[in-house]
Amino acid sequence: MKYPTYYFNKNFKNVAVKLSGGTDSSLLYYKICKFYKGTNTNIFPITLVSDKKPFYRDSTTRITLIVKGLTGVSPTQHIFVEGPHSEYEQLLNNAVLNFHKQNRLDIVYTGITINPPLEKLSKSLMRWNYEKYDSMEYNYPSVNHYKDITKGFNHIEKRDSKRDIELNTESVSIVNGTTDLLCNNPFSECNKKAVANEYAKLDLMESLFPFTISCADYTDETYTTLDEHQHCENNCFPCMERYWAFRRFV
């Protein structure tokens, strides 16, 4: 297994991190706060609140508060931008560059892993499915049982296939040709198992992990508060990936 490669420097004055409130970016934000604690470094989480994921404002605010409790560090400023989810990646990158023009960032951190081995992910989906129905007190109709498996495999087929391979041979690069702005993706050679190992090693499995949100199978109509949120449990690719790596959703 490959391990994350963090690029931290206590001489940096302004650092940004793309924060969605998922397992990867929340871990990364925690590591940043832990490392830069006691320095003069300003920390700016940047979050895109989209039409499909309006809860990102509340979920990422919750993450910053939890991390403050764990590290004693608060963000210098939490930057929120809004836009359509269909342009999520481009809008978030633009937000980083616009903030950089005004505040001269030294580096932006982003947490994106490569996909799990598809064979192992498929086996994990089947194992979860059988465990789920075997644990029920009644016999779930087999037609629905297999329909759920089929739905899961359909989501595997629709995955972001660009993440099947290493995202970047270098964990540190420059942003869109902006030579004075670095980008560090510590997980560019790692899948979600490496992230799960980090959570366990740092004793964050109960204090941080349960408050992260990976699910992509819902919109704002699904619930009205974060307390009502439940992961769809393997009805979307991020949930399948989460279960494969952590063997749990919350």
- Contact 110/185 with Cβ under 8 angstroms? yes
Its domain, for residue 126, covers 117-158+225-250
Q: Is residue 200 part of a domain?
A: yes
Q: Is residue 6 part of a domain?
A: no
Query: What is d(CA 84, CA 101) in angstroms, rounded to the nearest whole number?
Result: 23
Residues 27 and 128 in one domain: no
pTM value is: 0.89
Q: Is residue 207 part of a domain?
A: yes
Q: Is residue 147 part of a domain?
A: yes
- Contact 6/184 with Cβ under 8 angstroms? yes
pLDDT, averaged in runs of 10, over the chain (250 residues):
92 97 97 98 96 86 98 98 91 95 95 91 81 54 55 83 76 86 95 97 98 79 66 85 91
Residues 44 and 102 in one domain: yes
Q: Is residue 193 part of a domain?
A: yes
- Contact 31/6 with Cβ under 8 angstroms? yes
How much is the pLDDT for 143?
A: 41
Residues 22 and 144 in one domain: no
Residues 79 and 198 in one domain: yes
Residues 204 and 244 in one domain: no
How much is the pLDDT for 16?
A: 98
Query: What is d(CA 214, CA 236) in angstroms, rounded to the nearest whole number?
Result: 9
Number of domains in the chain: 2
Q: Is residue 7 part of a domain?
A: no
Q: Is residue 2 part of a domain?
A: no
How much is the pLDDT for 234?
A: 75
How much is the pLDDT for 224?
A: 59
Residues 142 and 63 in one domain: no
Nearest CA-CA partner of 23 in 187, 236, 217: 187
Inter-CA distances, 196 with 24, 71, 175, Å: 9, 20, 27
How much is the pLDDT for 140?
A: 46
Rg (CA), the chain: 19
Residues 148 and 195 in one domain: no
Condensed to tens digits (0 to 9), the pLDDT of residues 116-169 reads 988 888 888 887 777 666 555 544 444 445 556 777 888 888 888 888 886 666
| Residue 107, domain CATH | 3.40.50.620
How much is the pLDDT for 95?
A: 96
